[in-house]
Chains A and B, each alone.
Chain A
């Protein structure tokens, strides 16, 4: 019986748990990739991370803003799209196919095409917005426009994921409650908020749990779209760690920041898991 988990456990230990231990060891040392003296410095790398104004005032807020807005907006859009696709209409199969595009295309490519479409001079979308007479925005040269673009890209990628899962859940709902609501002459909106949503709640909660954990480690879109810039103002957690370790070549600092993120996620993960369990119990 242990033989069944042995290969999985072996790979997990060697290529995830061992690196985490190596990283913890590195985070207590003055370990730079160009000058690997590896002097033991205790907690001073962690102190440095926690006193770094960029980490506290830019990276952490950005990471959580991205996490909350992206998950909330993707969930909202996903609900709308799923309800739409739940009814038959002309072009529904096509729309359902197209919705899979963001999920199958690499985030690197998505970010590339968004970067190109929003290019200040030649971008199709920038030009189109100017043509509509909207004020011209240099999308990638200020903090909030570029961060908005990062969030929008994330929503573009993940809203379809919510759509597919919620659509499956909608199609699996028992029809009796909807018939009862119809007989009671409930408006579509009231049916949605009082019948559909409560029945979808377990699915929504699990989706939000999985997505929130994954949104915390968003890297690809941010790195390709802004590279953390301008002036490090759009860095999120993963980008911050990557920059510390592989651009500034300060491995100890990078490892300490990585450890801080892992600990934050451990608590967020356990908290969310409790929340899921409680929701599952009350909705039963």
Chain B
């Protein structure tokens, strides 16, 4: 009798705990989504009233700056993903398969530059970009977004290739494959699942990146995060429109969470 009661209590506490975690992680997002479907008059005290509207989304979609920022962020994230993965795959492969002083010093370099706080090099990068005339252009935003991934991704790519047995490549070499062919036809396909996961995370992190956008983009090439931030810190009162913009900016995250879950988890575990 007592044991049964104890088990019931334990189950109750457990369920409440799970529910609390659920509320903790969904709550803030739900508040934001709820605000975005309330009319301007109902955005305050969102727990009162029952009028809902999609007008906010229509209004935000008509603001050319927001739409342009979404487009720019989309293009930039896609390009940054392609280039970051393209240049780090070779670097990771080299770190994994060859050894010598070049590899050791390259590995030390990427570790050291990984620790440098972003602001310490993005701040002078603003000067470099204005000097080169690429401030506030795609090129000027793309290259730093690639550079930021060089260190960490080389490290992760090394991990992928470390996990693949090199004997397959040796076999390919014996069968008359070139060194390049062994990399391209044997090692690369085996590393593909890891690279795919990394691609999704890379895309998301570029879409979400804020400091670079704030410093290196301006009126010509606005990005979604800097546009959001401008709304929040400068205008800061039309919460219904702001929430609608945030929901738009959140769409890729929601899509990835629901459909790309497997890849995100795999990517984070590396």
Contact = CB atoms under 8 A, between A and B. Distances in A.
Interface of A: 1-5, 7-9, 11-12, 14-20, 22-23, 26, 81, 84, 89, 91, 94-95, 97-117, 121-122, 124-125, 127, 156, 160-161, 164-165, 168, 213, 216-217, 219-220, 223-224, 227, 237-238, 241-242, 245-246, 251, 254-255, 258-259, 261-262, 265-266, 268-269, 273
A4 B242 CA distance: 45
Interface string B119-145: 111111101100000000000000110
Overall SS of chain B's interface: helix
A223 B229 CA distance: 9
B18 interface: yes
Contacts of A112: 32, 228, 232, 242, 246
B152 to A, nearest CB: 9
B117 A16 contact: no
A251 B124 CA distance: 9
A40 B86 CA distance: 41
A259 B207 CA distance: 27
Contact of A97 (B18, B44, B258): B258
B44 A122 contact: yes
Interface stretch (B164-172, B188-196, B208-216): B208-216
B113 A12 contact: yes
Interface size, B (range):
35 or more
B116 A20 contact: yes
A223 to B, nearest CB: 7
B90 A98 contact: no
A19 B120 CA distance: 9
B269 A99 contact: no
Interface in B148-164: 148, 150-151, 154
B1 interface: no
Interface of B: 14, 17-18, 21-22, 24-29, 31-32, 35, 43-47, 86-88, 90-91, 93-94, 98, 102, 106, 109-125, 127-128, 143-144, 146-148, 150-151, 154, 204, 207-208, 210-211, 214-215, 225, 228-229, 232-233, 239, 242-243, 246, 249-250, 252-254, 256-258, 261, 264-265, 268-269
Contacts of B127: 19, 22, 26, 251
Nearest to A218: B117
Contacts of B232: 108, 111-112, 115, 224
A91 B109 CA distance: 45
26 contacts: A7-B86, A8-B88, A11-B87, A11-B147, A11-B150, A20-B121, A89-B14, A95-B21, A97-B261, A100-B261, A100-B264, A103-B268, A106-B210, A115-B232, A116-B35, A116-B243, A156-B24, A164-B265, A213-B115, A219-B210, A238-B118, A241-B120, A242-B119, A242-B215, A262-B120, A268-B115
A164 B146 CA distance: 26
Given A7-B87, A113-B32, A238-B117, A23 B123 contact: yes
Contacts of A241: 119-120, 123
Contacts of B208: 105-108
A116 B31 contact: yes
A26 B47 CA distance: 52
Nearest to B86: A7
B233 A227 contact: yes
A261 B91 contact: no
A237 B17 CA distance: 36
A18 to B, nearest CB: 6
A22 B257 contact: no
B268 A121 contact: no
B106 A5 contact: yes
Contacts of A164: 265, 268-269
Given A7-B90, A89-B14, A100-B261, A12 B150 contact: yes
